[in-house]
Amino acid sequence: MKQLEFQEFYEARRDACLRAVLASVGDRQLAEDLVAEAFTRAWVSWQKVGRHPAPSAWIVRTALNTRVSWWRRRRREVALDGGHDVVDTTAVDTDLDPALLTALRRLPQRQREVIVFRVFLDLDTQATAKVLGIAPGTVTAHLSRAVTALRGHLVTADNPEAGS
């Protein structure tokens, strides 16, 4: 029973979770690794995760937390040479527009997270606030700022009506 229920959840939500994590991290391979790790952890704790009010949000939050843990571990292991990771959005084969991914990467992390949960996972403000551990008003403020910034990045001077 547990295996069938988890398998149905995995098949139904994997792509949405992958798109959400990809929108946040901007790197296809990293997003796939993070989502795989999160689904593995979900399988181990499926009795708890299966009862979560938003299991997809649990997956995405776990994936994003895992990224932070990996980054912290790597930061201690590898001396930084001053270089920056370059995000390759040309190799992304999802239905996400590369220009959107680039614009999302320009947002502060918390704004990206709010976009991921509110837009990509379609959670309401209360659920997003609970998952992120912030106040509902903070979710609304971050969402507003993120949408304004995205609109500014994506609407060109040649076509200002495109954002309306």
Q: What is the DSSP letter of 45?
A: T
Domains of the chain: total: 1
Share of the chain above pLDDT 70, in %: 78
- The dihedral sign for the CA sequence 6, 12, 14, 16: negative
According to the model, what pLDDT value does residue 102 have?
85
Q: Which domain holds residue 129?
A: 2-163
Cα distances (Å, whole numbers) of residue 62 to 69, 123, 136: 10, 16, 20
Close Cβ partners of 22 (under 8 Å, ≥ 6 residues apart): 28, 31, 92, 94, 96, 101
Average pLDDT in the 51-55 region?
92
pTM over 0.75? The answer is: no
Q: What is the mean pLDDT of the chain?
A: 82
Better-scored residue on pLDDT, 13 or 2 = 13
Q: What is the pLDDT of residue 152?
A: 87
